[in-house]
Chain A
Amino acid sequence: MSNANQPSLASGHEGTLRDQFSAYISRLKNGEMGSLPAVGAVLVLTGLFAMLSPVFLSRINFTNLFVQAAELTMLASALVFVILLAEIDLAAGVTAGVAMAVFIVLVKFLALNWILALIAGFIVGLAIGWVIGFFVAKIGVPSFVVTLAFFLGFQGMQLILLGEGGVYRIEVPEVIAIMNNNMPDWAGWALIIVMAVTMFALGVWDRARRAKYSLVNKPFSILIIRTFALLILGGLAVLIMNQNRSQGSIPIEGVPIVIPITVVILFICTFVLERTKFGRHLYAVGGNPEAARRAGIKVARIRIFAFMICAFLAVVSGIFHASRIGNVDGSAGHTIVLSGVAAAVVGGVSLFGGRGKVLNASIGALVITMIDNGLGLLQMPAGVNFLVEGGVLLLAATIDALARLRTGGSIVRK
């Protein structure tokens, strides 16, 4: 530090690329692994399934993987908001189920415009989130119990709305298109360029702010490396998705429409959690609710908002699901919520609260989806699938607990 009015304390931004790298390694050793185990799992699983099945790395399956993962990513991201508070929402899946039931009833029987019906679905979701949050934050019922009650009750609500065994086809092409249609080639390239430019611009913006206060910045090369890594990996994915993956005569190519939707939602969630007052307060409440309260944070309000955001994103996940299978049925969303929790935990979001990001959850969702997809291709019985997923979840939770021990046995660590 050379600047004269610069105080003598470090901020972790000092040093060369090499210093930053060794600081990163020492953070890993201290148990701050983030989603690194999940990234490792993605690589191992890719290698394993690619060896065992010739189809796994085919163009069509590659694209399918991301489309399938989108649904789980959205649900896991939804759950991140409540898991960060050390709460749980077991009703997230059925919340989506009820919202979609409302949607289809409005469209089919009341002939409502599909956009209005979707908005109604979201409002139903937000209302459910508010009620759950009210019970948890204001009355003090443990979220596990509240959401378990809603989980049971809403299965009944779905049946009442749709009738026993009711399955209704969605005849809204716009909704079906989300999971089943692709963007033109140029739009895929545009997506990846917009992502890289946004990442770069945010980085430059942060650096400018720090420079304005004459604070030290990390080496510029880190930002360049990150931006290029995104461009190369993303570009590779777009390149594969833009090739014809059809096994028939009609060509299928392009990045599925669900991908940009997911990217934008993940970006907004990350922005809210990392860069807004609300996000900071959410982490604070998850870390130490009493400290947050003493600092003047309205803890109950943060909790209620978290459950509302969770329900809202769960409804998005419900739309993805309905779009993929093309219909709404009375049993939708009953089992996916546990996979969502598994995805978040596998990705490195701590069930003890206060630690984790939505991006971690999406990597976890990719892991769970790969297991599902790969074992399916190997024509393993469904039982094996559940066993493996359960094992991976246990492993991830163990890593989480051990990481906490590593950091001095403290309960929370971001």
Chain B
Amino acid sequence: MSVPAIELSAVLKSFGPVDVLKGVNFKAYPGKVTALVGDNGAGKSTLIKGLSGVQPYDSGVVRFFGEEVNLHTPREASAYGIEVVYQDLALCENLDIVQNMFLGREELLQGTLNEADMELQATKALASLSVKTVKSVRQKVSSLSGGQRQTVAIARSVLRDAKVVILDEPTAALGVAQTEQVLNLVRRLADAGIAVVMISHNLSDVFKVCDDIAVLYLGRMVAQLKTSETNHSDVVAYITGTKTQDGTN
């Protein structure tokens, strides 16, 4: 197998007396969708906050394509190409799609905004993900549906040349058709060679789109499985702690 885009070994994180991550190992490969599942309080959020540099880990090794890296700030994570698409999306409703996709990294020409360049790049990024659901790239985000907003947020990470994209419950608030669209988008993201990490509570979504499933249980990685080699009830058993995998605990 190829080198993992992200490899965590023996990662520890505690908040005061509470140990949230108790020596976690985790791998995510380029071109694959890796699900990160686990019950509430298992440590999923803490794990991705460490990866995004928002809350650095206390100890442990983070390898990025085999190289040991330090992720202490969001800026550092972003420089490596690690992008997080948060649940609450972080889009400005009063701006249009192009403006949102380039927010904070606008293209300039002679000191003024180069709208044409940004519009073309944004359109290409959306097209590369085969996004067809939005009418116009100059639509205001306030006029978009939840699924379309999620699409814009994901496409923004593509625009930033992300190597690793972490999605925090991308389908949580979506209807059936929109969930389908977003899952297709997640698949295409991986097909483009990006390592995708998807946090989800919805196991049917996970089985539909993910290649690997990593299960956190009370701060430990109890299993990292291939989707093809496991089944729904096994994963539930790992999540609820009634089953453990030899060697990982």
Contacts and interface: CB of A to CB of B under 8 A. Distances in A.
B120 A9 contact: no
Given A10-B137, A287-B92, A209 B103 contact: no
A95 B136 CA distance: 44
B91 A288 contact: yes
A18 interface: no
A293 to B, nearest CB: 9
Contact of A286 (B94, B117, B131, B137): B94
Contact of B108 (A213, A277, A283): A277
A212 B94 contact: no
B127 A290 contact: no
Interface in A8-64: 8-13, 30
Contacts of B132: 8-9
B114 interface: yes
A234 to B, nearest CB: 25
Contacts of B90: 288, 290-291, 294-295
Interface in B15-68: none
B104 A9 contact: no
Interface in A264-305: 275-277, 280-281, 283-284, 286-288, 290-292, 294-297
B108 A412 contact: no
Interface string B102-140: 011110110111111101100110110001101111111
Contacts of A11: 119, 123, 136-138
A297 B94 contact: no
B126 A7 contact: yes
B48 to A, nearest CB: 14
A367 B33 CA distance: 58
Nearest to B139: A12
B202 interface: no
A412 B126 CA distance: 24
Contacts of A206: 115-116
Contacts of A30: 143
Given A215-B120, A283-B94, A408-B142, A295 B113 contact: no
19 contacts: A11-B136, A11-B138, A213-B116, A214-B120, A276-B112, A276-B113, A277-B108, A280-B95, A280-B99, A284-B103, A288-B94, A291-B90, A295-B90, A295-B103, A355-B94, A410-B142, A412-B93, A412-B142, A414-B95
Given A277-B113, A295-B103, A411-B93, 12 more contacts: A9-B134, A9-B136, A11-B137, A12-B139, A206-B116, A276-B113, A287-B94, A290-B90, A295-B90, A353-B94, A354-B92, A355-B94
Interface of B: 74-75, 86, 88-95, 99-100, 103-106, 108-109, 111-117, 119-120, 123-124, 126-127, 131-132, 134-140, 142-143
